Structure 1
């Protein structure tokens, strides 16, 4: 039973890491770190929605993360001061979610489970959802890789080639919402953005091409997930923060090795 228990946790962390590692490259290239953070904070509102409507947690979190992402996209397209809007919406969503969960009648909710994750509690059904969501994200990014890359690195040329950078931005918004939904049980709403950013940031200085960076980022995220789980079991520490600590350590090593 103990081996199956760890196997489920490792599979959940690995599936989340692979999707976050690949998507994180676009988050880093487009400088969307705060965007990802704001979307992740909306996950707590999604938890409250799920508990009120008896929806699966994945569904509620996905809906609220997508609503937040589309709201931010709309503000950006209308020329609002995006950094300020991101800050307001991110912290408002987190605060509203915490208050909403606390006010749910007749429910004792362990908020730490959703704030910091608890991959050790996942079942086989959760793993199916995580890997299904990860497959959707990886499949979308692989299928639209060329146009997403063009829209990210050379928006003007992408527009001239007939691509719509705004549509590609919405595709990335959908992907971020999906990763937030599958990652909440693994690293929690407060740490999802770290798993998106750190592996990609570590891979950037060690890669010469976007494809190499994507593969290396996925590898680093997978290593961080499995090594973080091992560290948590060995040191008796929370799994989500342990995974992020390993990712941060890898980033620090890559920065020292490359100076970037």
Structure 2
């Protein structure tokens, strides 16, 4: 069954959603969308380093994404604006990665595949990386759910309860770096932020509790992945962007449903 490229692509999208659903919910709650984009942009530098050093692509992107997370946290602790730090690091790393790739000897690189993803080219090894990373992140969030949620809703109350909000924030930051690393080939550096934000934002329109929002975000991610792949097959469109378009349509539909719910009845 895994010899069918469409089956592998569907499994990759479903596996990725297991991580982006819960993590994207925290990204929405904490307003970390810009950080997700910046980490994904910096992953291109990881691709360049992996090619130059003959390392697996996911390993290079993971190292750079983790370095980005630590650097931004350090800059924030020094009192520098997080948005400014993210902007400097993001565009510098992206540009450095694009320049460095040109120095990779004898390597022909399809930059579009790294920028927009190539989910139809996912291999069995890629599937193993995606699912291992996604299940690890989902398990981590499940394990620390109450700590992460309390730190997000009320850092002062979390601190009074003996929870270190900064440490929980670092857990989310490092988790985001891992998700970027394992998803680069699936949806690409420019679209991973959308995969994190849109399903979670759509779920927020109708979910009544934080846990329900997480579960619904995962389900929306699954629906977007599968319907986007089908749309790509039927209309011969790029698979990665098609998945994001499907997620956007789901968001639009749930926004309309939420608006209809709030409309007063005469």
Per the normalisation by structure 2, the TM-score is 0.95
Higher gyration radius (CA): 2
Distance 1:56 1:222 in 2: 27
Aligned: 1:41 with 2:41: yes
Aligned to 2:5: 5
Q: How does 1:121-200 map to 2 (within 5 A)?
A: 121-200=121-200
Where does structure 1 differ by over 3 angstroms across 4 or more consecutive aligned residues?
none
* Rounded Cα–Cα distance in structure 2 between residues aligned with 1:128 and 1:3: 14
1:66-94 per-residue CA deviation (whole Å, 9 max, x = no partner) reads 11111111112222111122222212211
For 1:117, the equivalent position in structure 2 comes to 117
Q: Where do 1:23-38 residues align within 5 Å? A: 23-38=23-38
1:207 aligned partner = 207
SS in 2 for 1:205: helix
* Aligned 1:31-110 pairs, distance under 5 A: 31-110=31-110
Q: CA offsets per residue over residues 18-49 of structure 1, 9 Å max, x none?
A: 21111000000000000111111111011011
- 1:15 Cα offset (Å): 0.6
For 1:106 and 1:232, how far apart are their aligned partners in 2?
32
CA distance in 2, matches of 1:244, 1:91: 23
List runs of 5+ in structure 2 lacking aligned partners. none
CA distance in structure 2 between the aligned counterparts of 1:206 and 1:153, rounded to whole angstroms: 19
Q: Partners of 1:184 and 1:139 in 2: how far apart? A: 21
* Structure 1 residue 167, shift from structure 2 partner: 0.7
Gaps of 5+ in 1: none
Deviation of the 1:3 alpha carbon: 7.1
Q: What is the TM-score when the length of structure 1 is the normalising length?
A: 0.97
Q: How far off its partner does 1:54 sit? A: 1.3
Aligned residue pairs: how many? 260
